[in-house]
Amino acid sequence: MFDKLKGVEERYLVLEKRLSDPKIFQDRAAYQKYSREHAELSKIITVYRNYKQTVKELSGSTELLRDGDPEIKELARNEINALTIEKVRLEKELKKLLMPKDPNDDKNVLVEVRAGTGGEEAALFVSDLFRMYSRYAENMGWKVEIMDHHTTGVGGLKEIIAMFHGKGAYSRFKYESGTHRVQRVPETETQGRIHTSAVTVAVLPEAEDVEVHIDPGEIKVDVYRSTGPGGQSVNTTDSAVRITHLPSGLVVTCQDEKSQLKNKNKALKVLRARLLDMKTRQQNEKRSEERKSQIGSGDRSGRIRTYNFPQARVTDHRIGLTLYKLESILEGDLDIIIDELTTFYQTQALQNAESVTNQQIALEHS
């Protein structure tokens, strides 16, 4: 790890030198490229330099143990204890920072929310969840682009698909995939009984053209008249688009725009994201199993999170986190949950990496 950190510091110093070069400053593209890399490495370098300073101070305090003055020795022991704890903390932080970054983290994200079990109550909760995600995006300064949606008669949504545009959007939403369960008394319930409904959420990184090429000869495009509420032109022209990807059998529809071309472009974005996800899952069978277990079938049992209205409680079952902040969370205050999930999965990945390293060391010495 420390050989790698030395290499990172050397690269950081090279970047500092390049960024101070007037020729680089005049080349806007090169300057932005080096600035981004410099900013990313600065997080690691700050912690690494704190680590080296802590090791230096620890060495100095250890030397003081040889002093003949008992008081100085006692002070040295206290400093050694504090510095040792800090050294261990910084080592863990460095290991996290050096872990391979998910290449999709900085991408825009496609979020698909669909009603599962629970009828109209599930459809109403789709609306609630999408509003929650939209509020969170608003707090983050992201743009929300609705790709497609299907409403119900009571103001709910059978499903809604939207693209969230913003740096790091995928990294913040990627742990939302799965079944979300809601427990509350429906407005139509006269006896005050609590109903349980379920909604499924799928989260996919946006795919660039270079990542997923769609051959025009491998898709079938159908146009038809939009259904549901809308203006005159929405309901009287063939603006809705259905794209079928023949090799995979994937079907995507879009009818939110009055323009057939805009609907087609949106549908292609959704198709590209789904194809990238399919490609990734085929390359990584383990991730496929995780995604399948997270999303499940949309029934009440395969849940990752429960929103309990009578108790104003939100529970994330993967990490055993319970918060009595239902109202603020549904208003988009999601950071407290997302941060806990990120820490949990980063720690898990770090433990797995350490386990592999220990196994390799054991094999080398066997």
Write out the chain in H/E/C secondary structure. Answer: CHHHHHHHHHHHHHHHHHHCCHHHHHCHHHHHHHHHHHHHHHHHHHHHHHHHHHHHHHHHHHHHCCCCCHHHHHHHHHHHHHHHHHHHHHHHHHHHHHCCCCCCCCCCEEEEEEECCCHHHHHHHHHHHHHHHHHHHHHHCCEEEEEEEEECCCCCEEEEEEEEECCCHHHHHHHHCEEEEEEECCCCCCCCCCEEEEEEEEEEECCCCCCCCCCHHHEEEEEECCCCCCCHHHHHCCCEEEEEECCCCEEEEECCCCCHHHHHHHHHHHHHHHHHHHHHHHHCHHHHHHHHHHHCCCCCCCCCEEEECCCCEEEECCCCEEECCHHHHHCCCCHHHHHHHHHHHHHHHHHHHHHHHHHHHHHHHC
Query: Domain with 37 in it: what CATH number?
Result: 1.20.58
Tokens 């206290």 correspond to what residue?
78
Cα 105 to Cα 93, 102, 280, 352, distances in angstroms: 19, 5, 14, 20
* Same domain as 57, residue 165: no
Q: Per-residue pLDDT for 291 more than 50?
A: no
Domain boundary pick from 77, 98, 119: 98
**pLDDT score at 321:** 95
Kindly report the pTM of this predicted structure.
0.67
Q: What is the pLDDT of residues 27-77, one digit of tens each?
A: 888 888 888 888 888 888 999 899 999 999 999 899 888 887 888 889 999
Domain limits for position 284: 109-208+273-346
* Same domain as 122, residue 88: no
* Same domain as 94, residue 54: yes
pLDDT band (50, 70, 90) for residue 233: very low
Q: Which of 52-66, 224-238, 258-272, 340-354 has the lowest mean pLDDT?
A: 224-238
* Same domain as 132, residue 93: no
Label residues 148-182 b or e (16+ Cβ within 10 Å = b). bbbbbeeebbebbbbbbebeebbbbbbbbbbbbbb
Q: Note whether 318 and 176 are within 8 A (CB).
A: no
CA 61, 62, 67, 69 torsion-angle sign:
positive
Count of domains observed in the chain: 2
Q: Are strands 240-245 and 219-224 parallel, antiparallel or unpaired?
A: antiparallel
* Same domain as 284, residue 182: yes
Query: Domain with 114 in it: what CATH number?
Result: 3.30.70.1660
Q: Note whether 105 and 172 are within 8 A (CB).
A: no
Domain boundary pick from 67, 98, 129: 98
Q: Are strands 305-308 and 178-184 parallel, antiparallel or unpaired?
A: parallel
* Same domain as 119, residue 90: no
* Same domain as 146, residue 78: no
Domain assignment of residue 226, yes or no: no
* Same domain as 13, residue 159: no
Cα 199 to Cα 20, 42, 57, 105, 144, distances in angstroms: 53, 41, 54, 24, 20
* Same domain as 170, residue 296: yes
* Same domain as 159, residue 90: no
Q: Per-residue pLDDT for 104 more than 90?
A: no
- Cβ neighbours, 10 Å, residue 282: 10
Taking the CA atoms of the chain, what radius of gyration do you get in angstroms? 26
* Same domain as 322, residue 204: yes
Domain boundary pick from 98, 124, 157: 98
Domain assignment of residue 31, yes or no: yes
Q: Report the distance separating Cα 318 and Cα 153, nearest Å.
A: 34
Domain assignment of residue 306, yes or no: yes
Domain assignment of residue 364, yes or no: no
* Same domain as 94, residue 40: yes
**pLDDT score at 310:** 94
Domain assignment of residue 135, yes or no: yes
Tokens 């608003």 correspond to what residue?
138
Q: Which of 77-86, 210-219, 330-339 has the lowest mean pLDDT?
A: 210-219
Q: Report the distance separating Cα 116 and Cα 200, nearest Å.
A: 6
Domain assignment of residue 284, yes or no: yes
**pLDDT score at 271:** 92
Q: What is the pLDDT of residues 239-261, one digit of tens each?
A: 899 999 999 999 999 988 888 89
Q: Note whether 212 and 224 are within 8 A (CB).
A: no
Q: Report the distance separating Cα 173 and Cα 105, nearest Å.
A: 9
